[in-house]
Structure formats: C-alpha cells, structure tokens
Chains A and B, each alone.
Chain A
C-alpha cells in the first residue's frame, strides 16, 4: 500500500545526524497487511478450511500427577463421525524437547505426544479426531480413564527440599540443572566492615502470554507422503525439526508454512500442537485442525517461567555498587522445555547493565507438577530485572540516595565490555536513556512531591533493563536470503522470516528499498516456507531486525552491485558510474540514456543472458545490548489495595528506528504487558490442588483500555553497532523495565518493600497492615 508514514516520525527522537540521507529507513509505513487485517480479509489459521478437514480435540489431565492405568475409548470410537482416538498406546513414544531450534541442540527430552504418566493439570491424555468440533467434543466426554494418583509438588522450593521426599517427576534429580557464573571476589566485599548490604527475595509469577489468538494448527498429508503444517509459529525450522523427529520423516517430507500470527510473545515460539496435528493428519490421511480454547491455551501450552530470586548487594556509602550475589530458582513446570537455558539467559543479563566488579550468579532449575514454562517475551529478562531493579531501589532508600542518581553512578557506558565474558556491550546508551528520561519526566519534582496521607497515595518510580540482539556469542546465528529483481523492476525477497505482527516484513522492505532506490511497495517479501525459503534461525532472541535486517541490507547491497555490473556492460561505463535513482538507472556520463529498472532487467536478460538475483548468507558478528528505562507514576488506593498507573515514560536505546511507528508500537504493548506483570497477571497455581486459578480471561486480568495509562516514548538513536543502519532490538526489551518501575513506584508511594509480583490488592493491604 503506497501510504506515506505520518506517525510523528520526528517526534521525540534523539538522533546523531549521520552523513547519509535516508529516504525509506526512519519512516513509519503501515504494516504490509494492515488493510487485510482492518477488513477481515486476512485468513488466520483458525479461519482456514480445507476440503475434507477433520477437527481434533484433546483430553487434558484433570490430575496433577497420575499414572494412566487404562483408557477405554470404545464409546468414543463408536460415535458416528469419529475418525480416531489417540493415546499413549497408539502414538509414537519418541521423546523430544519443545524448545530446540536447531539439529544437534542439546536439551533434556522428556515430552511425548501422549505420556503414560500425566504430570500436571493440562497434560495430554488423549485426543479425538472427528468430522467436526461438536462430535469431537462429545467423543472426548465418552473416553474413560482409570488413573492411579501420584504425589505431586507445586512449588519450586518444595522441589528443592532434601528433608522431605520429593515426588519423582522425571529421571533426573532436582534440581535438574544448576550453574554458576562468578567474577571478582564477591564474598570479600560482603565481609568488608563498612559495606552496606541490601538483601531481597523477589518472586515473579507464572503468566499467560495472552495472545488474542489461542493456539491453533492445521496439517495435511499429500499423495507422496509429505506432511504440510500450517502454523502461526516463530521458528519454522524448529517446527520442522520436532515434527520430523517425532514422526520419523525425512526433513524434506515435512513442509512448514508460517501463517498469519494472531499474537505470540513467545507463547507460540515452542513446538506444541504441530507434531500432534501432523501425526493425526498422517494417521487419518486427512487435513486436521487443532484449535484450542482460551482455557486450554492457558493451562496446556507454555507460560512465563516463575522465578524466585535471591539478591544481595554490597555498597559503599557513596553509592558505588561493589558486589552482587544473585541466585535464581527456576520453576519450569512439568516438562523441561527451556528450563536450563533460561536461567543462564537471566544470569547473563546481570552482567550487562551495571559496572559490577564482583558478581556471582547461581541458578537452579526444577520441575513441578504445574503448567510448562517456556519462551516468553524477554526470555528471562523481565524476571532478572524485576529481581535486581527492586533491589537497587531498596538500596537507594537505605543509602538515602536518589534512585536515578544511584543508577547513573553505576550504569554501564558505551563501549564497555561484558564483565561476565559475553559479547561487548556496543553503544550501550543506558546513561542517555536515564538522563533524558529523568529530565522529560520531571523526575525530581515528581519524586519529591508529597505522597499524600489520605486514602490515595502517589509515588514515582523507575527501572532500567537490558536485552540481547541475537545469539552471537551464545549460539550459531545467521540468516540466508535470496533477493531478485524481476523484468518489470519489482522485487521478491525470499527468506525464512516470520512476522509476528511487529512489522518484520515491512521493515525488511524498507531496508532493501533504501539500498535499491525503490519504493517498499514494489517489493514482495513472503514469510517463511521450509520447502522454498533459505534457512533462518527464527523470530526469537530479539534477533530479527538486528541480524535478519542486516542480512537484508547485505543481500540488497550485493544485488545492487550485480545490477550495476550488468548494467555497466550495456551502458558502456564502469560499474561505479551506474546511478540508481527513483527506480531508474543510467550512467553518470550519459544521463540521457536513462531507463526504468524493469527495462534494464529485461535488457540484461536478453543481452547478458543472466538474472538479477543474489543469495547471501549473513553471519552475526556482534550482540550489543539494547537498553531501556521506564519512569512511572502511580496512585495507590490504601482502602482497596488497587493501584492505578497514572503515566509512563519509556526511553529506549534502539540504535536506529527502521520504522519508528513500529518501534513505538512495541513499546506501548510492552508497557501494557509489564503493568499486568507488576499488578494483576498470574495464572496462580493453587499450592494444594495444583489447579491454575487464573485459567480463563474472566479470572486472568489483562490491563484493558480504561486502565491503560498514557505512555510517552523517547527513542535514543545513536547507532554505531552492526545492525542495519545501526538498528537494535525493541520487541522484548520493551516490556523489561516496566514491572520493576511500577513496583518501585508503589514502594515509594507507600514506604513499603513489596517484592512478590504481582502486587495484588491482598499483598498491598497486608504490607500496609504490617506498617
């Protein structure tokens, strides 16, 4: 759509003027599919209907831990319209891990399509595949299951106890993973006589990603033994890997197509429904759709990892952070998923925000009989920053130093190295974020304003955070793209990208358009298809703009070189004398011999007998930090314990905004998610029954429009790292500083030290009663 960006492109952007004049990058074009979404024309997976398609419904375990003695499916199978009932008895027993994204990746494999021992309320017991949803639902009710109940554990620290027997959940001991990263002399700093030591225990909840589209998948077989999987996923090649492994198929017999994404936030990053749908399609020879309800999506897919953090910091009186000792307990739920690496992801962030010469990070991961944790926007960053930033504010109170001043004294500077041994921090502009933010927010005035003494108390708080830009320094990170210019001058980018609704497709078009002097709407950039797209590591790890975007930039650069080289032969000039401008091409010496891109590509085909096409692999070579600081004002009702967030200012170091409208959009949404994390969201597994209390939207509270505060955004765009035009990630960091900023504001308003999220009315009133 040829609509010019008008989303206040120049508003609140702190740029370092570069030498280049950008035409396409830095403009807020609408999403490529915005019109299809606004008219209802777009077809999400649940909207798709294929000839002869069957529906599958899953029977989820009502018990938190039980051995299945017997399943009687006779009644269900006798129902007309039922094509199959699937249980552990007639499905593959191949074990897999839902989070692996590349072949050969090590991870504990403990999940299978249907287990013979269920491990949580929401585990898969059986499935019915039937002609329609109603029949499938009716048949589910006719399945009789005989369970032998087993003891269960619902709390991570319970699972770590050595004085009482812990139920065996898996063949591995508890914790199933533990690791330590340590630099400097931590213990000595805490023993120093004049050190001020601040200690906290912070708990963060299991939350639901709450994409508006519940989990869904369609799979169908073809006449040659190939299975095609239609899925709104984040990592096509992860889906292919797990489906092929479970079904025992060659990779080229599993085709995965990315369908429009109705929201993910990490919730659809791991492989959940896809191997089931693929197996049912193979078994019945028919297309099969699995569409979960909201309730099923909440309890049976993935959650944000519940984390308990113990943090101790040692300070001198001037406010220098001398040492920190951190420990996290990771509750990964009933299956391992990413339970090992997420603790490490948290720990690595702890070394990239403040200059801390002496720091130790320890992590222990355990299984519990609760819904499975997994990837979730921020991948551990919201947890670790809640833990550490609440502690920093606690220290500021004890030291009598303003929290902004205390942070400015200790934050990392541009060019700093990672004390924990990770990749260099790059142009880490967190000091600029905090300084600009404090000024724009009126921090000093708001912080000093009276809290009030009546029913309502006001407070101001802030917090900082950092996140990654891909996998460089940790895992392999590269992308391959093929870019072509066609005989009419239009272009096709063929790649494995997955747009999650954040604007990936449009951003890639803008990057290519900038290089090729073409309008973005002349570029087609379909999303990934494992049969035809080159490899991509996936829409994960905040890598898409920084790494895939850099691939688009490099590929376009190579394509431009080829176009100029071939055109030079026809224009009888040197390649560097060829000028591309507004979709026309000419030589510097003979501007009158000017022709359109399409005419030139056609001529090149005819005379030079070649095609303007390039396939390029880009390997990430840096992983700078993205940084953000949120400033928040809250009003707390001391009678009800309810918190109203009055205003949020979010300041983010994004290197360069490829599309500032998209960047702001990510931040607004991240703030909404962060406020929910701080105040209301918790699937709240009951410690006695193991049942999730927040198991549907009427009992799980997202921030809605009346409760959403105004949000101001400031973008710091100083570039300097290896992303396209200096761009860094925003999608995940956007939500990381919000929750601790809200908690810190509430603690300032009330003079409390609340540190268990979410700050429910009950917790707030209890803290007030203790004062």
Chain B
C-alpha cells in the first residue's frame, strides 16, 4: 500500500504493509533509528515521535495513520545541524546517561514546548509521564527542559 507523508521535512512515497507500525517504517524503511522500541506497548515512550507536532508512541501507531501528515523524529530536531535548545540543554545539564530514552524524552518535551513555551514544573512532569528513564531519576531531564524553556529557577529542583 502506498504511503505518502513527510518525514523531517522530506516528502516520502513508500510501499508499506497495511499493518506496519510507524516505528518499524521509520527505522527499517527510512533508516531513522533514533526512535527506539523499549516495550512495544506504549508504556516507556522510547519510540516517541511528533505527528503534526503532537507526541505519539510510534509503536502504537500504524504507519498509514500518518498518511498526509508531517512526522518529526529526533533526527529532524536539528535540521540545519544547529542543535535545538532542548538538545543543548540535555547535553549541558547531564540529562543523558545511557541515552536510550533520550530521543523519546526530547520529542515529548518538544511537543510540550511547541504547545506551551513556558510550562510549569507540573506540566513538564505530566508531559513526560509516559517516558521512562532508568538512569537519571529524571532530575536533570526536568532541569534541562526548564533550562530550554527559560523557566529554570536556580538550577535547583522544587522544594517539597
């Protein structure tokens, strides 16, 4: 079945099985391996990409559901080679350790900032609730998103 959509600004026309998941088409047919499969059931968020600027779990979406839409993966976050503010903040704030959750984290955070450029801490926590990380305890991820949004207080996390 033919699938026409845009991926990272590039128009694509592909022959795609009707039952193929968006994640597999991105990784296997387009070689965009940034999005990862961590659970295959929408719990971990490692496969998060943007579809028309909304964060979706690409393991739960059929590729054909992206017909005519615009998909952005982590590879599309820095189209001109200049890092996105979120990428820079993730690097600088120590929000990356093993890095396996990072593409999904970045895309969920990007969707949040596109919709709400100055989110509160609670909004960040809720927007990233579906992205699991085992390395960082989320502490520096929260700081990085606040830093990219320009809402970081003093670099210190919230007091109870």
A residues with a Cβ closer than 8 A to B are 1, 3, 6-8, 28, 30-31, 33-44, 46-47, 209-214, 260-265, 293-294, 500-503, 633, 646-647, 661-662, 664-665, 667-673, 696-698, 702, 704-706, 708-712
Contacts and interface: CB of A to CB of B under 8 A. Distances in A.
B72 to A, nearest CB: 11
A320 B99 CA distance: 47
Contacts of A667: 137
Given A294-B39, A668-B137, A669-B135, A502 B97 contact: yes
Contacts of A698: 39, 41, 43
16 contacts: A38-B87, A43-B33, A213-B36, A214-B38, A263-B98, A263-B134, A264-B98, A294-B39, A501-B97, A646-B160, A664-B140, A670-B137, A672-B134, A672-B136, A672-B138, A704-B130
B83 A35 contact: yes
B97 A664 contact: no
Interface string B124-160: 1110111111111111111000000000000101111
Contacts of A669: 97, 133-137
A662 B136 contact: no
A671 B137 contact: yes
Contacts of A37: 96, 99, 102
Contacts of B102: 37-38
Contact of A706 (B125, B133, B159): B125
A660 B140 CA distance: 13
B50 interface: no
B13 interface: no
Contacts of B22: none
Contacts of A3: 91-92
Nearest to A675: B137
B36 A212 contact: yes
A502 B130 CA distance: 23
B139 A697 contact: no
A214 B101 CA distance: 12
B63 interface: no
Nearest to A446: B160
Contacts of B141: 705
A260 B33 CA distance: 14
Given A40-B75, A501-B98, A710-B157, A35 B132 contact: no
A38 to B, nearest CB: 4
Nearest to A734: B137
Contacts of B44: 212, 294, 697
B77 interface: yes
Nearest to B17: A134
Interface string B63-89: 000000000011101100001000100
Nearest to A633: B160
B126 A44 contact: no
A75 B96 CA distance: 46
A709 B98 CA distance: 21
B129 A213 contact: no
Q: Which of A3, A669, A671 has the most CB of B within 10 A?
A: A669
B94 A262 contact: no
Contacts of B137: 667-672, 708, 711
A702 B93 CA distance: 23
Instruction: Name the prevailing secondary structure of the A interface residues.
Output: loop
B51 interface: no
A153 B54 CA distance: 49
Interface string B20-32: 0000000100001
A150 B66 CA distance: 50
B134 A706 contact: no
A207 B126 CA distance: 26
A260 B27 CA distance: 18
A646 B36 CA distance: 32
B126 A30 contact: no
Contact of A38 (B32, B96, B135): B96
Contacts of B73: 40
3 pairs of A and B residues whose beta carbons are closest in the complex: A40-B34, A37-B99, A501-B98
Contact of A42 (B99, B133, B139): B99
Contacts of B129: 704-706
B46 interface: yes
A130 to B, nearest CB: 15
Contacts of A706: 125-126, 129
A294 B135 contact: no
Contacts of B138: 668, 672, 704-705, 708
B99 A501 contact: yes
B128 to A, nearest CB: 5
Given A42-B99, A294-B39, A697-B44, A265 B134 contact: yes
B140 A668 contact: yes
A40 B103 contact: yes
B111 interface: no
B100 A39 contact: no
Contacts of A633: 160
Contacts of A502: 97
A39 B75 contact: yes
Nearest to A42: B99
A79 B50 CA distance: 38
Given A6-B92, A44-B100, A500-B98, A665 B38 contact: no
Contacts of B27: 47
A184 B63 CA distance: 69
Nearest to B107: A40
A42 B101 CA distance: 13
B39 A696 contact: yes
Nearest to A291: B37
Given A30-B94, A696-B41, A706-B126, A40 B157 contact: no
Contacts of A704: 128-132, 138
A39 B99 CA distance: 10
Nearest to B101: A212
A263 B96 CA distance: 11
Q: Which of B33, B46, B126, B130 has the most CB of A within 10 A?
A: B33
Contact of A8 (B36, B101, B155): B155
A185 B98 CA distance: 48
B92 A38 contact: no
B32 A40 contact: yes
Nearest to B103: A40
B71 to A, nearest CB: 14
Contacts of A42: 99
Contacts of A8: 155
B73 to A, nearest CB: 7
B160 A709 contact: yes
Contacts of A262: 36, 98-100
A633 B74 CA distance: 37
B5 interface: no
A711 B159 CA distance: 9
B132 A28 contact: no
A705 B91 contact: no
Given A39-B87, A711-B137, A7 B99 contact: no
Contacts of A38: 74, 83, 87, 90-91, 96, 99, 102, 106
Nearest to B106: A38
B96 A40 contact: no
B40 interface: yes
A39 B132 contact: no
Given A30-B94, A40-B32, A705-B142, A211 B100 contact: yes
A212 B74 contact: no
Contact of A40 (B33, B39, B91, B92): B33
Contacts of A646: 160
Contact of A711 (B93, B94, B157): B157
Contacts of A47: 27, 33
